[in-house]
Structure 1
Amino acid sequence: MSLQPSPAISADKGWKVWWKLTRPHTLTAGFVPVILGTVMALNNTNVSIVLFLAMLIASLLIQAATNMFNEYYDFKRGLDNEHSVGIGGAIVRNGVKPKTVLNLALIFFAISILLGVYICINSSWWIAVIGTVCMLTAYLYNAGPIPIAYTPFGELLAGFFMGVIIILISFFIQTKDITLPIILVSIPVMILIGAINLANNIRDLKGDKENGRKTLAILIGRKGAIILLASMFAISYLWIIALIVASTVTPWLLLTLISIPKPIHAVKGFIGKTESIQMVSAMKATAQTNTIFGLLLSIGFLIDYFI
């Protein structure tokens, strides 16, 4: 397979190539959990901005590295070509050497480890154990003989580690504690991060099936996957409403309802579509749902804190 970019397809140059390589729409899974976990810590302690930034940068780098491993290993397995839709495209369309992509991902991991050491020194060395499991999972998501991304467990593991675990770590390094509310609030974020993976798999269902993958979308079919996606959106909003009714969290979290048009757009964008290019907008709307939902959660907690 040629490593030269296709002139008719690739128009990206310079920094745009490297920016797209990180797959920006997925980075919401890196920053939303850290921001939310840190904001929720405000009611328990004085937040360390340095620890917050260290956690934020490490989380973003791990997410970006995961995307680069995805690009590298999909290329090595011959799954990507210059006409593929929805991938970073640095290798197949922009002529970036595969080894460069792999090395950059490893560098991002190395920087994350250094930041992790700083975080551990200022919190607990148990974070090193948990962080190692998170990074190993991120690597095995696309690497190994049976990548997690090729199984029905991608949505669950991505949501759990990038949602629940990152939120809890972000809260713990500030407070040295874990509370029931932080666990409960992490659940809808976990669901929405899992929804990003599901949306990606709905878009890629045809190609993934041809390449022997067994993703959740393939197992339950396109229609079933879209119904599941809609259900995940609904559960996320209903979960927050239930927490408010139970007086577990502030009513200010009703601000999340402002984001409802995004998941509606996402679901409608998948219905009746079979070609990948037709579903790009819906997939982006799914990622935007997580971003807006998570940030509105954070704003709700901030308003409650200051008043």
Structure 2
Amino acid sequence: MKVNSFLKLVEIQTKIASVIPFLLGTIYAVYRFKSFNVINFIFMFVSLITFDMATTAINNYYDYKRAVKKHGYNYEMHNGIVKYNLTETSVKITIFALLLCATSFGIMLFLNTNIIVLIIGIISFAVGIFYSFGPVPISRMPLGEIFSGIFMGFVIVFLSVFIQVDDKILNLIYHNGFLTLNMNLKEIIYIFLISIPTINCISNVMLANNICDIDDDLVNKRYTLPIYLGKEKSLLIFKIAYYVVYIDIILLIILGIVPVFSIITLLTFSIINKNIKLFNEKQTKCVLQ
């Protein structure tokens, strides 16, 4: 498989959706806890990016296998398997290699940290795979936005903080037959609050994509959230989700969870608001680019 076809298969441009929460959590750990473990950083980054590539490749493979409508909406350009005439065998080998790499580095991360990383990793891997795989994949249900937002927007941030600070926020202890979970509730709430921008923005990327694809998804039997809610309600949720991000940023600054200079991010509101209005007027993917 050539490099350009591989990059299209894994949609390399979308990996920023994983990298931003990862970097956010890492920066927060350095800022709040003055802690940075470069080995854990590398292990998680490699596991995260290769697993994200694998799940995207799985998603494209099953979209290719299940597609009913294959013409009329640039299907030949959107799906790398069709665009580059990739064989199913080469795609399967690529997916297996990526999963093997992600699992290997995930195990090394667990061995360098503790059991909590393993538990969160297993759950995250399961959600990622069943997002596209199985008789009723998550991506074909009205749950895609929720799962992608929580697992990519919050779990990645939480785990990237946890691998830097270890038991300062959460630990699991087994002693004399008792299993005890101890958590620093205040710090976990803080991590959730700093994750709201990534949770909402990642959910909105999927929501916008699904709003644009309502007609084609109906034909291809993908019953996403906009199909259940309708376009008008979906667009309202899309707008509110972005507004909540700015309210959250103000709250983070007031509580002193993030530095005061974070207020500069509020300057982006006019740009975002303009794009929201454009998307409300016309729901096409080219508007989002």
Checking the alignment, whether the CA contact within 8 Å between 1:70 and 1:142 is kept in structure 2 is: yes
CA distance, structure 2, for counterparts of residue 250 and residue 193 of structure 1: 23
Alignment of 1:234-273 (within 5 A): 234-273=243-282
Match for residue 186 of structure 1? 195
Taking only aligned residues, the RMSD between alpha carbons, in angstroms, comes to 2.1
CA distance, structure 2, for counterparts of residue 97 and residue 260 of structure 1: 45
Q: Which moved more, 1:18-27 or 1:259-268?
A: 259-268
Q: Deviations over 1:140-183 (max 9, x none)?
A: 11111111011111000111111111111110111013323222
Match for residue 147 of structure 2? 157
Select 1:46's aligned residue among 35, 46, 52. 35
Distance 1:135 1:79, change over 3 A: farther
Deviation of 1:99 (Å): 3.0
User: Which letter maps to 2:285?
Assistant: V
Distance 1:135 1:88, change over 3 A: farther
Q: Which moved more, 1:106-115 or 1:14-23?
A: 14-23
Higher helix share: 2
CA distance, structure 2, for counterparts of residue 79 and residue 108 of structure 1: 28
Match for residue 26 of structure 1? 14
Checking the alignment, whether the CA contact within 8 Å between 1:45 and 1:174 is kept in structure 2 is: no
CA distance, structure 1, for counterparts of residue 123 and residue 114 of structure 2: 15
> What is the TM-score when the length of structure 2 is the normalising length?
0.85
Match for residue 168 of structure 1? 158
Match for residue 148 of structure 1? 138
Select 2:83's aligned residue among 93, 100, 107. 93
Q: Which moved more, 1:220-229 or 1:166-175?
A: 220-229
Deviation of 1:214 (Å): 1.9
Higher strand share: 2
CA distance, structure 2, for counterparts of residue 268 and residue 195 of structure 1: 14
Checking the alignment, whether the CA contact within 8 Å between 2:148 and 2:202 is kept in structure 1 is: yes
Bigger relative contact order, structure 1 or 2 (CA pairs below 8 A, ≥6 apart): 1
> What is the TM-score when the length of structure 1 is the normalising length?
0.80
Match for residue 285 of structure 2? 280
Distance 1:80 1:90, change over 3 A: farther
Distance 1:283 1:99, change over 3 A: farther
Select 1:72's aligned residue among 58, 61, 67. 61
Deviation of 1:57 (Å): 2.0
Checking the alignment, whether the CA contact within 8 Å between 2:69 and 2:219 is kept in structure 1 is: no
CA distance, structure 2, for counterparts of residue 53 and residue 14 of structure 1: 26
Stretches of structure 2 that go unaligned for 5 or more consecutive residues are 170-186
Runs of 4+ in 1 over 4 A off after TM superposition: none
CA distance, structure 1, for counterparts of residue 261 and residue 17 of structure 2: 23
Distance 1:57 1:258, change over 3 A: farther
SS of alignment partner, residue 49 of structure 2: helix
Q: Deviations over 1:243-283 (max 9, x none)?
A: 21233332222122243355335423423335xxxx22334
Deviation of 1:80 (Å): 6.1
Checking the alignment, whether the CA contact within 8 Å between 1:82 and 1:89 is kept in structure 2 is: no
Stretches of structure 1 that go unaligned for 5 or more consecutive residues are 1-12, 285-307
Q: Deviations over 1:226-251 (max 9, x none)?
A: 22111111111111112212333322
Q: Does 1:135 align with 2:129?
A: no
Distance 1:239 1:169, change over 3 A: same
CA distance, structure 2, for counterparts of residue 96 and residue 261 of structure 1: 43
Deviation of 1:108 (Å): 1.2
Alignment of 1:202-213 (within 5 A): 202-213=211-222
Deviation of 1:26 (Å): 2.2
SS of alignment partner, residue 82 of structure 2: coil
User: Which letter maps to 1:280?
Assistant: K
User: Which letter maps to 1:281?
Assistant: C
